[in-house]
Structure 1
Amino acid sequence: MLKNRNKVITPDICFINSYTLRQLWAVIEENETSTLLKFGDAELVEQLLGQLQNKIVMSREEVNTINNYLNSKVSLIRDLAEGNSF
């Protein structure tokens, strides 16, 4: 929390609920390894987010939060996919 001349400024934070998080990781696991590895980072995030949106309805804030979350997890997603390719 930041203070700005007697005003408290809170960052805009939207948390991911456990149901949405489970659905997101289910979407990731449902994809073929080759799919997870063939796209660039932005395309991969867009694909996964689109697939999740086909399963559940999300607010704009939730979509932005999931987008940020996926961007922060791209390396992990690729590492897991590569580990499953054997």
Structure 2
Amino acid sequence: MNPTMLRQLWSLIEKTQANLLLKLDDASLVQSLLQQFKQERTLNHEEIHILNDYLYNRLSLIRDLAQQRY
């Protein structure tokens, strides 16, 4: 994953409502973020797989940050 893609992803996470990030289960949260990201940028199969893994590995961080904003 390149730095531009990472910045775009974290920008999207920051723009997403904190209550949504906190209330969805893991799979729904990852899918929601992936869908939103795909609306901003075209992704190939490999990028989707990489993003999916990245998001699952960062779920606790995403939720911690959302909790701080809530």
Normalization by structure 1: what TM-score?
0.79
Does structure 1 residue 76 correspond to structure 2 residue 51? no
Kindly report structure 1 stretches of 4+ aligned residues shifted beyond 2 Å: none
Letter in 2 for 1:27: L
Which 5+ residue runs of structure 1 have no aligned equivalent? 1-15
RMSD (Å) for aligned C-alpha atoms: 0.6
Greater relative contact order structure (CA < 8 Å, 6+ sep)? 2
| Match among 37, 58, 61 for residue 43 of structure 2 | 58
Fraction of identical pairs, as percent: 43
Distance 1:49 1:25 in 2: 12
Q: Tell me how far 1:26 sits from its aligned partner.
A: 0.8
Q: Tell me how far 1:82 sits from its aligned partner.
A: 0.5
Query: What is the DSSP-based 3-state SS (H/G/I as helix, E as strand, rest coil) of the residue aligned with 1:58?
Result: coil
Distance 1:54 1:23 in 2: 12
Alignment: residue pair count: 70
Letter in 2 for 1:59: N
Q: Which has the larger radius of gyration?
A: 1
Aligned to 1:41: 26
- Counting helix residues as a fraction of each chain, which structure ranks higher? 2
Aligned to 2:13: 28
Normalization by structure 2: what TM-score?
0.96
- Counting strand residues as a fraction of each chain, which structure ranks higher? 1
Letter in 1 for 2:31: E
